[in-house]
């Protein structure tokens, strides 16, 4: 059964040095608050897994928490680059980052495979690309029925899956809706899972594309309002595009980045204090 | 917003590019939309001549109808306006891989004379001079959509003889490559830049400049292309943006 706990205690209990961790969210419901807590607790040598690593992975990499990343698209959409990620790949700063990259279809297959408890999944993909030549975890299988050659990718073997959702009920069941990405697969495909929710409700209302994760597949639930900020939770908040645009100027210079992290993440005790430390203009959902 | 009178219209080269790209989408087309300019162009098409076009985003939004162009492919305006929102493994397997998409609309950092796309690295993979975002949905969009439209700004670093890294396959090294690899879709059929339109040669699949925007010369095309590009003997002239196109395009900005 899911245990209601503080985010600090959930991270302390479930995320260990050297773990393979996915903090998932496809633009929506990204667990930023959990990434900040991992940085505050100083985790090291993590393998970070994510389809769309964005600012929170830029921060984890820039703060030296990761030694490896498995991903399919690393960027700050519409706003710029992940300069801390690029600095790690291009210049090994703050230290080298080993990368394993896939396509979205390949990563989505790997998540679904992990949730299914299978060793590998198949897709019609990668054929003719250079991705297949630089990534070891892409292989080829022949369909035993038609003879078609298909790409094979292994399960993700996640130690920890961390997501945000909108709500939990008092029994610890979790509900999310809107863009649900690979949130369900992240929880079902990992040995341990942490879910951050906006609030606890007495009972769930139906929602278009609603997904419910029963309490017994979740390990820890932390109530963290605005936990996805600057990402968003449909029905609760809008994407803070002003923050994403601002990140370009923070991330570009390593010293500016470190100063910013010291003030807003290391220098704050929790997500509420982090949010309070920000200039109000960065909280705005301009262009949402 | 009042419609500008046609006699006093001015526009930027980016606006001309978005308009030309939008015109490539016919009404009723089911289109898998990439981030950036493709999203602008596909929505412009939907707001003008292609009102029944179905816009699909890799975040799982099917039939999105945003009133402005969001910076990401997963903003709330996409999911709230969509006919259906599905999980990401489903969008790639049941919808894209299963062959339900007519057109894949992609941007690129680099594209070569055969329409192969690079969004991974500039330089060597192991020690790149520029690390780009990576593949995203593009490799399988380029594999499985019935055809592909590419749009990018025209300069010799972007339109190159050979891409540094094949992230997504166009026509490989020429005619027959896609068939040999068993790729289901027909691959890139048009590239729209801020100078005009390139289409693959029917015999060789090499991209050639077949249409130009007003005022663009053959010399400009050659200077801004990274290979010895062929320009059609009598390239078509692409009509300027209409008042309706510009009004619709600018309305997206006004709605931000």
Angle at the Cα of B217 from the Cα atoms of B215 and B221, rounded to 5 degrees: 125
Token code pair at residue B131: 């690390």
Q: Which CATH number fits domain A3-42+158-283: 3.60.150.10, 3.40.1080.10, 3.40.50.1950, 3.40.30.10?
A: 3.40.1080.10
Helix or strand or coil: residue A262? helix
> Looking at the predicted structure, is the pLDDT value of residue A287 above 50?
no
Residue B122 near chain A (CB below 8 Å): no
Residue A179 to residue B129, Cβ atoms within 8 A = no
Which of B24 and B6 is assigned the larger pLDDT? Answer: B24
Residues A115 and A282: beta-carbon distance below 8 Å: no
Query: Cα-flanking dihedrals φ and ψ of residue B5, to 5°?
Result: -75, 145
Instruction: Report how far residue B213's alpha carbon sits from residue B206's, in angstroms, rounded to the nearest whole number.
Output: 21
A287 three-state secondary structure? coil
Helix or strand run (H / E) with residue A10:
helix A7-14
User: Do the Cβ atoms of B87 and A181 come within 8 Å?
Assistant: yes
Q: Tell me if residue A51 falls in helix, strand or coil.
A: coil
pLDDT of A288 strictly over 80 = no
Q: Report, as an integer, the average pLDDT of A141-163.
A: 98
d(CA B101, nearest CA chain A) in Å? 15
Can you give the pLDDT at residue A283? 86
- The span from the CA of B26 to the CA of B15, in Å, is 19
Task: Judge whether B105 is closer than 8 Å to chain A, CB to CB.
Answer: no
What span, in angstroms and rounded, lies between the C-alpha atoms of A175 and A120?
28
Of residues A89, A128, A182, nearest to B128 (C-beta) = A89
Res A77: pLDDT: 84
Q: What is the mean pLDDT of residues B25-52?
A: 96
Whether B1 has a pLDDT exceeding 60, the answer reads no
Q: Give mean pLDDT, residues B35-64.
A: 96
How far, in Å, CA of A60 to CA of B130, rounded? 21
- Among candidates A71, A85, A178 on the partner chain, residue whose Cβ is nearest the Cβ of B79: A178
| DSSP classification of residue B215 | T
How many other CB atoms sit within 10 Å of the CB of residue B101? 23
Please, what CATH class does the domain formed by B6-251 belong to? Answer: alpha beta
The average pLDDT across A83-107 equals: 96
Q: What's the full length of chain A, in residues?
A: 288
The CA distance from B198 to B194, in Å, is 11
Nearest to A103 among B72, B131, B140 (CB): B140
Give the mean pLDDT of chain B: 95
Q: Is A111 on the interface with B (CB under 8 A)?
A: yes
Residue of B244, B199, B256, B251 whose CA lies nearest to B19: B244
DSSP per position, A183-221: HHHHHHTEEEEEEEEEEEESSPPP-TT-EEE-GGG-SEE
In chain B, % of residues over pLDDT 90: 93
Indicate yes or no: CB of B166 within 8 angstroms of CB of A27.
no
Mark residue B196 as left, alpha or beta (left: phi above 0; alpha: psi -120 to 50; beta: remaining).
Answer: left
pLDDT digits (tens, 9 = 90+) for B167-222: 999 999 999 999 999 999 999 999 999 999 999 999 999 999 999 999 999 999 99
Give A126's pLDDT tier (boundaries 50, 70, 90).
Answer: very high
SS in 3 state form for B138-176? HHHHHHHCCEEEEECCCCCCCEECCCCCCCECCCCCCCC
Q: What was the pLDDT predicted at A286?
A: 57
Phi, psi of A146 (to 5 degrees): -110, -15
Beta strands A220-223; A3-4: pairing state: parallel
Confidence of residue A229 (pLDDT cuts 50, 70, 90): very high
Distance, in angstroms, between B126 CA and closest chain A CA?
9
Determine the length of chain B: 256
> Can you give the C-alpha Rg of chain B in angstroms?
18
Nearest neighbour of B136 by CB, restricted to A73, A90, A182? A73
Tell me whether strands B103-106 and B147-151 are parallel, antiparallel or unpaired.
Answer: parallel
Residue tagged 């230290």 (tokens): A95
A85: closest chain B residue by CA: B131
Evaluated on CA atoms B199, B201, B207, B211, the torsion sign reads negative
State whether residue A132 sits within 8 Å of chain B by CB.
no
Q: In the numeric block, which tokens belong to residue A200? A: 């606890």
Q: What 3-state class would DSSP assign to B207?
A: strand
* Mutation choice for B interface testing from A24, A30, A100, A105 by most B CBs within 10 A: A105
Residue A131, token pair as written in the block? 């991705």
Please state the φ and ψ torsions of residue B33, each to the nearest 5 degrees: -105, 125
DSSP state of B234: E
Q: Domain ranges for chain B, please list them.
A: 6-251
Indicate which residue of B58, B140, B206, B245 is catalytic.
B58
Give the model's pLDDT for residue A152: 98
A-B interface: how many C-beta pairs under 8 angstroms? Answer: 183
Identify the residue among B129, B136, B254, B256 best suited for mutation to test binding to A, counting A beta carbons within 10 A and taking the highest. Answer: B136
What's the pLDDT score for residue A208?
83
Contact criterion met (CB < 8 Å) for A181 and B71: no
Query: Would you give the DSSP letter of residue A182?
Result: T
Helix (H) or strand (E) holding A246: helix A241-251
Which residue is associated with the tokens 């029905």? A235
Residue A223: pLDDT over 70:
yes
Whether the CB of A181 is below 8 Å from some CB of chain B: the reply is yes
Q: What are phi and psi of A26, to 5 degrees?
A: -95, 85
Q: Which residues contact B88 (CB under 8 A, 6 or more apart)?
A: A26, A51, A104, A108, A111, A180, A181, A182, B58, B59, B60
- d(C-alpha A219, C-alpha A213), whole Å: 11
User: A249-270 pLDDT, tens per residue?
Assistant: 999 999 999 999 999 999 999 9
Domain boundaries, chain A: 3-42+158-283, 120-154
**B51 close contact with A: CB closer than 8 A:** no
Mean pLDDT, to the nearest integer, of B160-166?
Answer: 98
Please report which confidence band the pLDDT of residue B54 belongs to, taking 50, 70 and 90 as the band edges. very high
| A165-198 pLDDT, tens digit each | 999 999 999 999 999 999 999 999 999 999 999 9
> How far apart are alpha carbons B195 and A107 in whole angstroms?
36
Mean pLDDT, residues A192-213 taken together:
96
Q: pLDDT, tens digit, for every residue of B128-160? A: 999 999 999 999 999 999 999 999 999 999 999
Tens digits of residue pLDDT in B208-232: 999 999 999 999 999 999 999 999 9
Share above pLDDT 70 across residues of chain A, in percent, rounded to a whole number: 99
**Is residue B245 annotated as part of the catalytic site, yes or no?**
no
Q: What is the pLDDT of residue B4?
A: 56
CA separation for the pair B198, B182 (Å, rounded): 25
| CA A156 – CA A71 distance, rounded (Å) | 11
**pLDDT, position A241:** 92
Distance CA B91, CA B98 (A): 10
Nearest to B59 among A27, A130, A184 (CB): A27
Provide the 10 A C-beta neighbour count for residue A27: 27
Among B200, B117, B120, smallest CA distance to B162 is for B117
The C-alpha atoms of residue A134 and residue A126 are separated, in whole angstroms, by 11
Residue B6 has pLDDT above 80, yes or no: no
Torsion of CA A83, B119, A103, A150, to 10 degrees: -160
* Residue B7 pLDDT class (50, 70, 90 cuts): low
- Tell me whether A72 touches chain B (CB under 8 Å): yes
Decide: B168 and B138 in contact? Cβ < 8 Å.
Answer: yes
pLDDT in the model for residue B3: 57
């Amino acid at each position: 059964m899911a245990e209601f706990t503080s985010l600090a205690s959930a991270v302390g209990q479930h995320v260990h040095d050297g773990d393979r961790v996915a903090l998932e969210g496809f633009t929506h419901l990204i667990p930023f608050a959990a990434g900040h807590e991992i940085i505050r607790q100083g985790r090291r040598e993590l393998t970070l897994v994510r389809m769309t690593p964005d600012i929170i992975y830029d921060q984890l990499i820039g703060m030296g928490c990761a030694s490896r990343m498995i991903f399919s698209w690393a960027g700050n959409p519409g706003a710029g680059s992940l300069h801390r990620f690029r600095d790690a790949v291009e210049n090994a700063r703050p230290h080298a980052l080993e990368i394993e990259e896939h396509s979205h279809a390949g990563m989505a297959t790997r998540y679904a495979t992990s949730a299914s408890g299978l060793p590998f999944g198949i897709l019609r993909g990668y054929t003719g690309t250079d991705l297949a030549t630089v990534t070891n975890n892409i292989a080829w299988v022949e369909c035993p029925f038609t003879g078609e050659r298909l790409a094979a990718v292994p399960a993700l073997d996640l130690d920890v899956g961390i997501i945000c959702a909108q709500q939990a009920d008092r029994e610890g069941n979790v509900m999310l809706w809107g863009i649900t990405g690979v949130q369900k697969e992240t929880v079902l495909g990992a040995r341990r899972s942490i879910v951050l929710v906006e609030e606890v409700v007495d009972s769930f209302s139906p929602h278009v594309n609603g997904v419910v994760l029963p309490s017994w597949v979740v390990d820890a639930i932390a109530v963290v309002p605005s936990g996805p900020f600057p990402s968003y939770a449909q029905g609760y908040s809008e994407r803070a595009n002003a923050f994403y645009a601002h990140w370009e100027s923070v991330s570009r210079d390593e010293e500016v980045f470190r100063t910013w992290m010291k003030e807003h993440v290391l220098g704050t005790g929790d997500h509420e204090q982090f949010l309070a430390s920000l200039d109000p203009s960065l909280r705005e959902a301009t262009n949402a | 917003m009042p419609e500008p009178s046609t006699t006093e219209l001015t526009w930027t080269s980016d606006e001309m590019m978005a308009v030309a790209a939008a015109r490539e989408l016919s009404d009723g087309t089911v289109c898998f939309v990439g981030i950036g300019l493709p999203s602008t162009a596909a929505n412009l098409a939907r707001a003008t001549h292609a009102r029944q076009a179905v816009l699909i985003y890799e975040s799982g939004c099917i039939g999105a109808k945003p009133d402005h162009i969001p910076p990401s492919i997963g903003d709330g305006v996409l999911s709230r306006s969509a006919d259906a929102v599905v999980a990401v493994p489903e969008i790639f397997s049941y919808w894209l891989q299963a062959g339900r998409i007519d057109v894949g609309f992609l941007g690129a950092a680099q594209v070569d004379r055969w329409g192969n796309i690079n969004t991974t690295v500039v330089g060597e993979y192991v020690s790149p001079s520029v690390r780009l975002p990576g593949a995203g949905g593009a490799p399988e969009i380029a594999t499985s959509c019935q055809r592909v439209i590419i749009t990018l700004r025209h300069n010799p670093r972007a339109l190159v003889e050979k891409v540094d890294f094949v992230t997504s396959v166009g026509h490989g090294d020429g005619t027959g490559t896609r068939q040999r690899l068993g790729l289901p879709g027909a691959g890139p059929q048009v590239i729209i830049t801020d100078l005009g339109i390139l289409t693959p040669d029917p015999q060789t699949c090499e991209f050639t400049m077949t249409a130009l925007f007003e005022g663009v010369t053959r010399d400009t095309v050659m200077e801004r292309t990274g290979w010895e590009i062929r320009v059609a003997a009598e390239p078509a002239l692409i009509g300027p943006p209409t008042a309706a196109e510009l009004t619709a395009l600018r309305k997206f900005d006004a709605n931000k």
